Amino acid sequence: TAAGRLSGSCGWHPFLPFSAVSVGEGPGCGPLVGMGILNSVPFRRVCRLKSSVSFLTRPDRPNIAYQKLKGRNPGVIFLPGFNSNMNGQKATALEDFCKSLGHAFIRFDYTGCGSSDGKFEECTVGKWRKDVLSILDELTDGPQILVGSSMGGWLMLHAAIARPDKVAALVGVAVAADHVVTSFKRLPIEAQKEIEEKGEWKYRTKQNEEGYYSLTYDFIREAENHCVLNSPIPVTCPIRLIHGMRDGDVPWEISMQVADRVLSKDVDVILRKIGQHRMSDKEDTKLLVNTVDDLIDKLSTVA
């Protein structure tokens, strides 16, 4: 691997002990402000220390940018959503939490996204699936908990199928399993034919300023090869699925479908009545962190 760009930020983290964070250090970081109780721990002004981005080099594929926190198992790996990156609020909150516990943690960018090499317009679900497997195979040892957001929730299912001995548990946030394919197939036949002829689909979304993602027809066709909801999903590890009922991009019913299709009997679905797609407000973050914490305890007890 090779070191690259530096990053750092400040923010509120309600669940970390003082020993796990740097308080009031560095430019732009004020003193401890305000005391509110969330999860029995005061709010603290947190300054994230600068950390370098490393790269997983692959001879036949673009290099993947990642940040890794060493620690004990089970480790936690965050899988971002479509056209997202490893610097989102959920990823950094989980990293801080794992650091406070002394557990290993990895966040990364898919090929063509964030700091990773490659061209986004040339990417496919299959290529991103291989990215996840590369991270698992090359950067981890022992059991891992995968936390997948949106499309990352779809990819985490594939990783669990492909690496059952390494994937010990799954946490999905607004899982978008098969969603781009099922959305396309729900279009009128005339619209589907027009997209095929143009080679492009402007897929509506609330997640960017343009109001749509530009997807190639080839991307949609390739994604069909990775659909999982049409038959039983051979995943037997513990699974926790969190979804907002006000998700305007990915219907919460998809999480219910995943729960129904997986072979695992240890499955919980948690619906947030006012939750949006990003699921990144303070209460959402608290729920996500507590869910991961419970799975760490469960797996550590079993071990």
* Residues marked as catalytic: 150, 247, 277
List all residues 6 or more positions away from 299 whose beta carbon is below 8 Å from its beta carbon. 74, 143, 145, 168, 169, 238
d(CA 104, CA 139): 11
- Give the chain's end-to-end CA distance (angstroms, integer): 31
Using CB atoms within 10 Å of the CB of residue 102, give its burial: 0 to 12 exposed, 13 to 18 middle, 19+ buried: exposed
Q: At what angle do helices 151-162 and 125-139 cross, to 10 degrees?
A: 60
For residue 172, give the nearest of 279, 99, 248, 89 by alpha carbon.
Answer: 279
d(CA 239, CA 233): 12
**Identity at 152, one-letter amino acid code:** G
- C-alpha distance from residue 211 to each of 132, 191, 194, 242 (Å): 28, 19, 20, 24
3-state secondary structure at position 237: coil
- DSSP one-letter code for 186: T
